[in-house]
Amino acid sequence: MKHTISTLTALLLCSSSFAADWDGLPVPADAGSGNTWQLQSNVSDDFNYSAPANGKSAAFYDRWSEGFINAWQGPGLTDYHNPNSRVENGELVIQATRKPGTNQVYTGAVHTNDSIQYPVYIETSSKIMDQVLANAVWMLSSDSTEEIDIVEAYGSSRPDQTWFAERMHLAHHVFIRDPFQDYQPKDAGAWYADGRLWRDQYSRVGVYWRDPWHLEYYIDGQLVRTVSGVDMIDPYGYTNGNGLSKPMQIIVDAEDQDWRSDNGIIATDADLADSSKNQFYVDWIRVYKPVPDANGGGDNGGDNGGDNGGDNGGDNDITSSVDFDSFFATGKDGSAVAGDSVNGFNPSGNGNINYNTVGDWAEYSINLPEAGEYRLELDTASTVSTGLGADISIDDVFVGTVAISQTGGWESYQTFSLANTINIGAGTHTLRVQSAGSSPWQWNGNAIRMVKVGEGSSNNQTTTPTPSEMISLEAESFNSTGGPYDGFQTYTQSGITATNYNQRGDYAEYTLSVPTAGNYNVSAIVATPESGAAMTLTLNGNALVSLDVPSTGGWNTFTEVNASGAVALPAGTHTLRVTSSGNTANTWEWNADRFIFTPQ
């Protein structure tokens, strides 16, 4: 069934010789420069055929087999039962029923005949059942040592299960089977929530398994989570340094999981007998691999507009670039604009951002291999005729405004440059781009570039100073941590190291060096999907200031929050304690990247 395509689109597709349910839905992940996405038809299925519970059809067996990938019958009280899976009305249906005469649960399970391996994008459209059971679309290696979960969700409407019903578990596992060891990331970001109840609608969930050390998770076409690097993929070396590297088969099933049933969270006879509650619907599964584009390369975040400014006297061939959607923090300064429901920049696929209104900003890490004179370029697109611009700051220092003009379309990208070049040192820098101008709606962004044009001899350049008064304190640089939940932990994602596992009452202590006494504004770069989070700062044991931390939409969606007033800081070296002090519903508070003290 075509739950994700409009009626008009569906009618148009009927005129072609073949139309899949996902036609018209672009792959949201970036295939890479010069690549395009190629459908893997042997493991993709829109289930537009029939396969009864008993005696499936040839169309089904062409891609799928019943049961698990081996003789295992499932976790906990699960008993995989072939008649509990079927294909009807354009959907794969996984049903859960009571195994007669027992406390076990019959559930369906199917798996692909073929395996897939990175780089690969896997996405499904599905609607979970109203049960305490897990609904799952996942991948597993043949030796059961590497696992990537695409959908893992628990949809029960029981009042005590609301927290789970609001979340999608986005995780992976690496195992040692003998003696048994299991690692999965347990940061709070693994439990994604955006306000929906997952049982109430069909949702698109996808994973880009880019390489053994990098996973990207997408919900309804939007990037919501990135897990990257050894510390997040396999910190204990269970894969012997290989990461998630083995071919895997796709599995669709429902499960009673013992970590739930052992704690009394058990499916009832009434729930299992209710056909409105006991069926997991999978509308489609699609799989793509990035392949070289025979036509010379796809969109994929190119510059779409040329150099637009010459080489300014240098032929250095050094360009550092980042996609606009690869920010590590985003937010908004000023009032919201009518019609803009996104706080900050919104990733829209292929490296782009949209929903950018005046005051929206994002911060990026950009690495310059050599010191020298650089030209900053932005690839942007807009239908707005006047009042467009972008304020640029590097390492918390404002360096100028890029004048941006109308391009004729929201996807018609052109390159605009900062008027002055920038004299800057080698290394990794924090680049902040903030929309500026008189127009409420601003521009879409595609790419940011720093192009080396000289060795620093230009007379028309801005030298990036090192601020002597602004104090930036990395959240992970604490001297000690503690609290009722054992304090903060640290993690690294997309090149950004931050603190996590922070629950109410947890704290960390830092050394704060203040070069000059005075009044300072206090802010923090933080992320949380929770409502009601907050932090309290003390200096040398004395109350300093409190900051409310509103929901940013995700554990890795960092934004800047500000204290309501300035604080007086004496010069010298001090002990700063930061304590989580909110009233969230489940005690989880916030992740933090850094704390900033800016002199008035």
Measure the CA–CA gap between 93 and 60, rounded to whole angstroms.
13
DSSP for 213-236, please give it.
TEEEEEETTEEEEEEESHHHH-TT
Non-local (6+) Cβ contacts of 548 within 8 A are 533, 534, 561, 582
Strand partners, 566: none
Q: In one letter, which amino acid is 412?
A: S
- Which bin fits 330, alpha (ψ -120 to 50), beta or left (φ > 0)? beta
Write the secondary structure of 234-301 as one string of H (helix), E (strand) and C (coil). Answer: CCCCCCCCCCCCCCEEEEEEEECCHHHHCCCCCCCHHHHHCCCCCEEEEEEEEEEEEEECCCCCCCCC
Token readout for 532 is 């009601």
| Cα distance between residue 413 and residue 507, in whole Å | 46
Compute the distance between CA of residue 152 and CA of residue 271 in angstroms, rounded to an integer: 19
* Residue where the block lists tokens 């304190």: 473
Q: Are 500 and 591 in contact (CB under 8 A)?
A: yes
Residues 6 or more apart from 130 whose CB is under 8 A from it? Answer: 155, 156, 157, 199, 271, 276, 277
Choosing from 123, 152, 166, 377, which is the catalytic residue?
152
Residue 10: enclosing H or E segment and its boundaries? Answer: helix 7-13
Of residues 123, 147, 166, 377, which has the active-site annotation? 147
CA dihedral 116, 117, 119, 123 (to 10 degrees): 40
Half-sphere exposure of 137 (CA within 13 A, CB side): 27
Note if 147 is an active site residue: yes
Is 370 annotated as catalytic?
A: no
Contact 184, 173 (CB under 8 A): yes
- How many of the other CB atoms lie within 10 Å of CB of 517? 12
Q: What DSSP designation does 163 have?
A: H
Closest-CA residue to 580 (of 509, 502, 510, 468):
502
Indicate which residues carry an active-site annotation.
147, 152
